[in-house]
Amino acid sequence: MRFVWAVAAFVLAAVMIATGIAQRTVFQGPKTTTATISDTSATAYTLIDGAVLNRSPGLQTLRAAADGPIFAAYGRTDDMKAWLADTDYTAVTLGAGGHVTSTVVAPADGASPTHRDPAGSDLWLDQFTQDDILIQHLQLPDTMSVLVATDGTAPAPADISLTWPLSTTTPWAGPLILGGGILMAVGVFLYILGIRRLRRSRGPRRKSLPPLPETEPIDLAVEQADKGVITAGAAPQRRAVSRRRSLVAVPAIGLSALLFAGCSADAWPQLGGSPTPTPTATVVDAGDTQPPAVTATQADRILSRIADTVTQADQKRDATLAATRLAGAALAERQTNYTLRGKLPKEPEPTAIPGSGLKLVLPQAYEGWPRTVLAIAEQKADAAVTSTIMMMTQVDPWSPYKVSYTGQLEATKLPDVAPAYVGAAAVQPDSSFLVMPPAELAAAYADVIDKGDKSASAGAFDTADDLFLKGVTDKRKEQLADLSKTAGKSSKKTAQMTFAAAAGGQAPLALATLESGAIVAVNVSETETVTPTDKNAVIKTDTNPRVKALTGVKESATGFVTTYSDQLFFYVPGVGSGDAKIRLLGYSSSILGAKVVSKK
């Protein structure tokens, strides 16, 4: 009976194992599904919509083939359509029934298509370039799209496809293989028991003893041999049989273990249910606000590009190159510095734009243009640590971000701002929600520089820890003292120096904070005017090589006017914030120009 059960166990084990293996092989089906995108070479750009990317769940594998370099980038769909607004492109969308369709979209204004190289645009969240064949694994939501092109002029790759993984779980393959292995082991055990019982049933049977022969001397060696006694030289045959029996079970158990080891997690039933994600509380409820202009990773990449370009421009004193990444007061500072360094070998380079160490990113939450981003980056030089605060702007979808304001961060405490993934609203120059509109801030602070506590705006500013204001005041006193020493050599005063501050020519930039306030960047212009008080006197530039280099003259009977540009960052509280005052967060100041005083 044991043999019958052993055979039954063997047969059932073979069926179970074979069924489990079949589920993992011949019955498993394809592991991926692919959608081929056709009619894409009619234009220079192909835009694959997010709905197409999410046609099937899981990892999205983009494949594009063409002769030469292939470019691909992804970003928010609205941003990409804005970048393609003035050209024609192939839009790949999801049609009725889930079919992928390709349609050529003409320029929005009906004008001739504009072709440009898509590589390096600050709009892309990421970009890739490969030769001949591009394969990229993505995991994008349906709010993002993928742009595929070559160089922006040649036709886009004609061979484009998307591949997604298919769910090929076989939850009963593992149990079948494991159960078959166990049954096979049971069959082997029953088989061994049957063999053992069979051998015992065929053993020698007892018989009656024959009549004893006549007593003779006994040969012990022969007697022992006749009785089947095993001598020292004999082989232990019963132990050899036992060893062979144990070896019979090894292949069956080894085979089961091998099959069991080849089963992955998708070969087992998931009895515990899918975990439910727990929502994480956010600092700010985004609500229906617009998406932020950039992500933190995107801002880091943009800042690195800006730093590389500006560094090259500083080394070459190339104002045209600098203008590709600088604007406003930040560009004006560089232009003057390049002029001075071309004439004064000892003139130092301007403060470098940091290309890394990004500590804070506050992008404007806005779908249109222009866009503004506040950034703070930290640099370490020897034992000193300095931080740079910047305002970057992008005027349209095709322009790169440019630094409009930059300064050294002096404040030890910053106002609370929204996280980068939420962004902040831009504050209008005439906003009445702040204790002082951004458009009036520069003029008010300039009045405080000139008049100090006597200014009508002095009470609006927190000047206790204002290092910039103290520095300007001390510098003016030193210059007046130096002028008095020079004039003191004569019995008659021959020159005078006056100072004035006013709002600069650059428009303010402001982003809202969480306390209903705003971080505002403004430009203040300071002038120093030196004029003779004696009609026979002249003002010389021997002690001021910068003025000499900028004006190109050694002396003047009318005097000189030197202009300085101040880039200032303030925290302006919101209306109803109590006794809160406007605080200076950071600043930079540099010479902007010099000229001879015109004759009256």
pLDDT digits (tens, 9 = 90+) for 434-450: 999 999 999 999 999 99
Q: What is the pLDDT of residue 430?
A: 96
pLDDT at 166 over 70: yes
| pLDDT reported for residue 269 | 65
Distance CA 241, CA 231 (A): 19
Say yes or no to pLDDT of 265 above 70.
no
Does 311 or 486 have the greater pLDDT score? 311
Listed in sequence order, the DSSP H helices in 425-523 are 438-451, 467-487
> Which tokens sit at 202?
């065929």
**What are the distances in angstroms from CA 130 to CA 34, 69, 152, 188?**
21, 6, 15, 58
Determine the average pLDDT of the residues in 86-111: 91
Q: Assign 527 to helix, strand or coil.
A: strand
Are 171 and 22 spatial neighbours (Cβ–Cβ below 8 Å)? no
Q: What pLDDT is attached to residue 270? A: 59
Domains of the chain: which residue ranges? 32-165, 296-596
Pairing of strands 518-532, 560-572: antiparallel
The torsion angles phi and psi of 3, rounded to 5 degrees, stand at -65, -35
Q: Check residues 275 and 600 and name the one with the higher pLDDT.
A: 600
pLDDT band at 243 (very low <50, low <70, confident <90, very high): very low
Q: Point out the least confidently predicted range of 17-26, 31-40, 59-68, 326-335.
A: 17-26
Say which amino acid occupies 76. R
State the DSSP code for 452: G
Q: What pLDDT does 122 receive? A: 97
Nearest partner of 295 among 400, 421, 139, judged by Cα: 421
**H/E stretch holding 342:** helix 328-343
* Contacts for 558 with CB less than 8 Å, ≥ 6 apart: 531, 532, 539, 596, 597, 598, 599
